[in-house]
Amino acid sequence: MPVGFQCFDETGNIILDATYRVLRIIDSRVMDGSNGSLQDDRLKQGGFVSFQPENTCGDGYLSGGVITPRFSVDASTGTLTWSYAAKRSTQYDIYQAGTLFYGAS
């Protein structure tokens, strides 16, 4: 009988095998509304991001827009980039702060 790591569901189907790639969190960053980037060779395997906003829409925002960051992972260089769109109204629009979690697959 072959030996290895496998997980099965209640009907006997394999849901996780030792050959599967599982997502793993590499690090996190607190974002303050500034554009930026970082380089990590582990992102060359394929990457993902999860942005957790500091506030959600409706939490005290009465007017204007909440601008969230947009993310891009370049697997060829291992670079994660984020940017915010320009404000339409400097008086009312705000850049959404929060925590960025990023990882590799």
Q: Does residue 5 or residue 3 have the better pLDDT?
A: 5
pLDDT at 105 over 60: yes
Q: Binning pLDDT at 50, 70 and 90, where does residue 6 land?
A: confident
Q: What is the pLDDT of residues 70-93, one digit of tens each?
A: 999 999 999 999 999 998 887 878
**DSSP-derived secondary structure letter, 41:** G
pLDDT at 19 over 90: no
What distance in Å separates the CA atoms of residue 95 and residue 51, rounded to the nearest whole number?
A: 13
Contact (Cβ atoms closer than 8 angstroms) between residue 38 and residue 103: no
Task: Please report the pLDDT score of residue 45 as a whole number.
Answer: 85
Q: What is the pLDDT of residues 29-82, one digit of tens each?
A: 999 999 999 999 999 988 889 999 887 665 555 556 788 899 999 999 999 999
Task: Please report the pLDDT score of residue 2 as a whole number.
Answer: 62
Non-local CB neighbours of 50 within 8 Å, separated by 6+ positions: 100, 101, 102
What SS3 class is residue 31? strand
pTM of the model: 0.70
Contact (Cβ atoms closer than 8 angstroms) between residue 67 and residue 97: no
